[in-house]
Structure 1
Amino acid sequence: MKTIRLITTSFIILITGVLATSCYKTKKADLVVHNAVIYSVDENFTTYQAMAIADGKIIELGAEREIMNRYKADKFIDAGSRSVYPGFYDAHSHFLGAATNKGELNLFGVKSESEMIEKVIAFAEKNNREWIVGRGWDQNIWAAKAFPEKAKLDSLFPDRPVYLMRIDGHSALVNQRGLDLAGITAETKIADGIIEKDAQGKLTGIVIDGASTLAERQISPLKNTRVAELLAETEMECFKAGLTTVTAAGISIKELLFLDSLQKQGNLKIGIYAMLEPEEKVIAFMQNGPFITDQLTARSFKLFADGSLGSRGALLKKPYSDQPENYGVFLLSDSILDLYAKACYANGFQMNTHCIGDSVNALILSKYAEILGGITDLRWRIEHAQVVSEEDRHFFADYAIIPSMQPVAAMSDMAWAEERLGSDRMSDAYALKSLKNQLGFLALGTDFPVDNMSPINNFYAAVFRENANGEPKDGYRMDEALTREEALRGITIWAALAGFEEEKKGSLEPGKNADFVILDADLLKAPKKDILKARVLETYVGGISVIEK
């Protein structure tokens, strides 16, 4: 009897081994990633050890032995126990604008007006374009914190126009030659902008919002061949930051088709979510339905409803604390707002409106409510939602309106925001957690090139509410901080959801695009001090490595 039991046991072991062997490496993959901590960011926030990829799609995720035993592949990546995340998705950025800025004078981080002038002089000697064009100055980081004036530029460049855009893209310093070409005088009136004058009524050269657009329209654009080169440079910067999808917020139909052509030629690989800008043909374009390819989605429309806090163009319910006669600027007419809101609704397009101040947020949220009439799946968005009064927050939940926010903006603005708003309004500003709680999610972006494109910096700002220098020490308004999981969702699946791309992006699940990044730090578990040191080791788009080695 004992002998029979022994034979039976051995037979069972033999059969089990044969069966196991017959299932070994029976499936084919192009790529297997293993020995990893894979944050799928699926509904249950499941983690895995390995995943298999074929034809640019994820086909299976599972335990290490399970995937390694099941799949033979052309390539295996040993992640070395490092963390793998869905490719990061920037829900609000200016991909095209960031590229074209590279062909202009970089004024980001200049510490004074005099330093800015020095850079302009050096740039002018090496560039022969008709206009001297630059961007990035911010008077709020200068000692005097006052807008610069055009007098020095007038003396240096009496016959050459100069256009220097502020960091936020809502105001610019223009010399007299540039103002003349734009037809701007001390008598010029403009409803959607501000033309700054001194105490004697003379032009200072500062033009805000619609007034800056008058000058900007006079500048000849870069040639497409040059723009294509700059886009490729910007794309590589995005890949090195871990971004696999970016937003082109506020572009023309012509620019959309240019981006599409570059992707079709294989010259751009990054995913792009495009927001169209107002123009004559855009409603007719909407009537053809969403424009969607494997890499490009254009099914949204963007309006600017007000300016920025930094330029004092954001529309407030009460005057600016540091400029009591100023409420900001409403950049739309009621008729234009009504026209485009109804067109978006009729054609199933997403409407995304730039709203900074509490007054304009209330106005646009009310208009959305009027047009939508209730909860829909149109996923209309408020871009920035920077200052939203508590009594207006219910609109997000009541009408399924998505707050699209930039955690890094609070870090950039915190040194002077209270000067603009006063202490009584600060509880309404940069309210990530409060607005997330309305709808249950929010989309996170950086607004690059206004702020750094790093999704890791953005994650850090959302969770720890500190800037890259670790300031303020105990965090800025920590009651509005997100959890690590929420912040990661905000730069992956929630961003994809806000762009109607959740079925193919934003999480690592079977059937979705194999867009993923490998980091040398675990964003969910690493000590705070190590988060900003985290490096992107690999970025994959459609299962293909895209970082230049």
Structure 2
Amino acid sequence: MACSLHPRGWSRGAEGGEKRGMLLRFAPVLGCLLLGAVAVAAPKLCYGEATQEDGADLILSHGVFYPVQPPRKVEGSLAVRGGRIVYLGPDAGAERLRTPKTRVIDLKGRAVTPGLIDAHSHLAGLGQSLEQVDLTGADSYGEVIRRVREAARSLPPGAWVRGRGWDQNRWPDKRFPTHQELTGAVPDHPVWLTRVDGHAALVNARAMQILGIDASIKDPSGGRFLRDEAGLPTGVLIDNAKGWAEGRLPAPSAEDRRRTLRKAALHCVERGLTTVTDMGIGDADYRAYKALKDAHELPLRAALFLTDDKALLDAWLARGPEIDPDARVTVRGVKMYIDGALGSRGAALIEPYSDDANNLGLLVSTGAHLEDVARRALAAGFQVAIHAIGDRGLQDIQRMARLGIIASMQPTHATSDMPWAGDRVGTRRLQGAYAWRKVLDAHGRLALGSDFPVESADPRLGLYAAVTRQDLQGNPPGGWMPGERLTREEALRGFTLDAAWSLFLEGEVGSLEVGKRADLVVFAQDPMTVPEREIPRAAIDYTVVDGQVVFERGTNERGSGR
């Protein structure tokens, strides 16, 4: 299973009062962990009408609203003043808040949900991927090479060719590729191609020469340079081997980071996302976020988790979390890794892979390191997120729920992995994988996301996968392991209120309640009632953040996501 586990502690109040941290004992099942240090008490909000001494800035009238909390449908209008919801109820009540300056959008029966939240994503990585060679969906190694060769033709001599999205599980020969064909097709440019899961990369001979990868190189702890029978590197780098080499790639400029980050943010709001995460950022990424926020060029909210780097963490743990009063950019989390990914056979298993009898996967961090950083982070008021995919990383869903760990899971991982996941772990172990219903039945919380750019950033695909467990062609009939399907209401809550709760933002966003920030999405077709197969095609007409329309279909049509 691919899930992120976000253990969260309890407290009352954000600035002071009683604080009680929670530390997991790192029991070695397929997932990512968030240990929370400080919870924000949600304000006591009324449902209905707020005071009317001032008019509304924005009214959405004649609509169908799904507040999530309370969990029922409301037909009528929603009014916004000062970026917050001041009314939700019958149309007549909103009319009393209308002034000549009020912008009124007549929904004509269209559906409105809270702004959608991706609880596990990588916004900076998405921005970079949008400017790289797109290798997603390539059904053969030859197709990967064709796309890379075509991209190289437009680059200056010797420039790096970067790409992302290849997946050998889609190819007729499902073995990892070797560099020789790639080197033959693109000999003069160094090439770096990130696998779809972000846990492996393929490089050509020119790149290996620049990076110093040859037969003498040693595998780092928690990583692997794949080799041929003669002991020579094949060009595939797994987990910490990839991390070692990635640190030697040319770094993007500050302007590059700001440009690609803004491009990614616009990509997201066009698809109905109003809050995202960035799991594992460095100082340069943080500065790019801050620059965009200060320039009012960041159209959504971002919850940032620091990468597991000693110098970075030492500085931030001494400084403490950065809680934005506008809830636009918050830094209150630390991201660590127990293991790698299932697709590249880096997920750490108790028993060998069913399709690789000599492989138990990779533990990319030691237990001592995980515990040390977790204790220090919690003491400093930071949340701890731990990537844990294999069953050496997490075993017991019931215990996870009892400890208050939040399962941050990605529905589209299940539908992407279902053709080959059984080959990796076998039927018995598969029963504990992608187990959304088991988490809810154990009274755990589901914070849903996509892990983009590993998957598409489009949350409609996540909603569809969660309720059908089918691919976009409707396969398999009835869904894959259908007992784990979610209802539409559960899926929407996972992409809104419970995702907000996992990020300590539930007092601000995640539901359509009076007093909360006006983050919402207007759909052309109602995703809660259309036939399941039509959920991915339910067009986004408006995305609203803090009461401001940040996307409107028709005015910037490229953002429709269709």
Note whether the superposition's TM-score is higher than 0.5. yes
More helix per residue: 1
Distance 1:495 1:539 in 2: 18
Q: Give the TM-score of the pair, scaled to structure 1.
A: 0.87
- The residue number in structure 1 matching 2:392 is 359
Q: Which moved more, 1:292-301 or 1:172-181?
A: 172-181
Contact 1:239 1:539 (8 Å CA) reproduced: yes
Contact 1:25 1:71 (8 Å CA) reproduced: no
Distance 1:267 1:532 in 2: 28
Instruction: Tell me the secondary structure at the aligned position of residue 263 of structure 1.
Output: helix
Residue segments in structure 2 that go unaligned for 5+ positions in a row: 1-50, 556-562
Q: Does 1:451 align with 2:480?
A: no
Q: Does 1:232 align with 2:262?
A: yes
Give 1:63 shift. 1.1
Q: Which of residues 489, 493, 498 in structure 2 aligns to 1:485?
A: 489
Q: Does 1:337 align with 2:364?
A: no
Q: Which of residues 305, 312, 315 in structure 2 aligns to 1:284?
A: 315
Distance 2:471 2:380 in 1: 41
- The residue number in structure 2 matching 1:476 is 480
Q: Which of residues 142, 148, 161 in structure 1 aligns to 2:177?
A: 148
- The residue number in structure 2 matching 1:5 is none
Instruction: Tell me the secondary structure at the aligned position of residue 111 of structure 1.
Output: coil
Distance 2:133 2:318 in 1: 39
Q: Which moved more, 1:393-402 or 1:183-192?
A: 183-192
Give 1:417 shift. 0.5
Asked which structure has the greater RCO (Cα within 8 Å, sep 6+), the reply is 2
Distance 2:387 2:117 in 1: 19
Q: Which of residues 76, 79, 96 in structure 2 aligns to 1:52?
A: 79
Q: Which moved more, 1:105-114 or 1:124-133?
A: 124-133
Alignment deviations for residues 217-251 of structure 1 (CA, whole Å, 9 cap, x no partner): 22112222233222222222211110111111110
- The residue number in structure 1 matching 2:404 is 400
Distance 1:313 1:26 in 2: 60
Give 1:70 shift. 4.5
- The residue number in structure 1 matching 2:46 is none
**Equivalences for residues 372-521 of structure 1 within 5 A:** 392-521=396-525
Contact 2:261 2:288 (8 Å CA) reproduced: no
Distance 2:212 2:369 in 1: 24
- The residue number in structure 2 matching 1:275 is 305
Q: Which of residues 103, 116, 120 in structure 2 aligns to 1:92?
A: 120
Contact 2:120 2:408 (8 Å CA) reproduced: yes
Q: Which of residues 247, 258, 262 in structure 1 aligns to 2:288?
A: 258
Contact 2:258 2:288 (8 Å CA) reproduced: no
Alignment deviations for residues 81-106 of structure 1 (CA, whole Å, 9 cap, x no partner): 11111110011111110001222222
- Structure number with greater Rg is 1
Give 1:151 shift. 0.9
Distance 1:171 1:89 in 2: 27
Q: Which residue identity lines up with residue 79 of structure 1 in the other structure?
A: L
- The residue number in structure 2 matching 1:181 is 210
Q: Which residue identity lines up with residue 534 of structure 1 in the other structure?
A: A
Q: Which of residues 58, 63, 68 in structure 2 aligns to 1:41?
A: 68
Q: Does 1:213 align with 2:240?
A: no
- The CA RMSD over aligned residues, in Å, is 1.8
Instruction: Tell me the secondary structure at the aligned position of residue 308 of structure 2.
Output: coil
Residue segments in structure 1 that go unaligned for 5+ positions in a row: 1-23, 363-391
Instruction: Tell me the secondary structure at the aligned position of residue 392 of structure 2.
Output: helix
Q: Does 1:527 align with 2:531?
A: yes
Q: Which residue identity lines up with residue 96 of structure 2 in the other structure?
A: N
Q: Which residue identity lines up with residue 209 of structure 1 in the other structure?
A: D
- The residue number in structure 2 matching 1:349 is 382
Contact 2:404 2:444 (8 Å CA) reproduced: no
Distance 1:263 1:143 in 2: 46
Distance 2:471 2:322 in 1: 37
Distance 1:451 1:401 in 2: 24
- The residue number in structure 1 matching 2:153 is 125
Give 1:317 shift. 1.0
Give 1:158 shift. 4.4
